[in-house]
Amino acid sequence: MAGKTILVVDDDENLVRALSIRLKAAGYDVVAAMDGMQAVMMTHRRDPDLLILDIRMPGGSGITVMDKLQGSIKTRRIPVIVASAFDDDETKQKVQELGAFKFFRKPFETDDLLKAIEEALEGSPD
């Protein structure tokens, strides 16, 4: 999976930094966005292979981001893994309806996330 680009979207700078280090060590190219609006713009500009997306952020929630990405032919097939501290049933159902590949509750095991990333990228078209 080397050379694949992952967009990490979260307003927690420490999480973004730590996750970026781990993903780069696993051979991925990493770009980051700190809010929902930036996430949509970066997705269109950088065409990542996968998104890791928080739900509650400034500038548009992860739900809003997923909704916008689903509405675009260019971005609707990009796999999304949601990582959020909020795992209420309504949130989980909504991200599932919007096509999230997997949902992780923060804090999560990075090894589990890496496995999910591999699975999502194996199933996505090149």
pLDDT band at 124 (very low <50, low <70, confident <90, very high): low
DSSP SS3 for 75: coil
Tally of domains within the chain: 1
End-to-end CA distance of the chain: 11
CATH number, residue 26: 3.40.50.2300
Residue 8 confidence (pLDDT)? 98
Tens of pLDDT along 22-33? 999 999 999 999
Residue 17 domain boundaries: 5-120
Residue type, 47: D
The answer to the question of residue 111 being in a domain is yes
The answer to the question of residue 112 being in a domain is yes
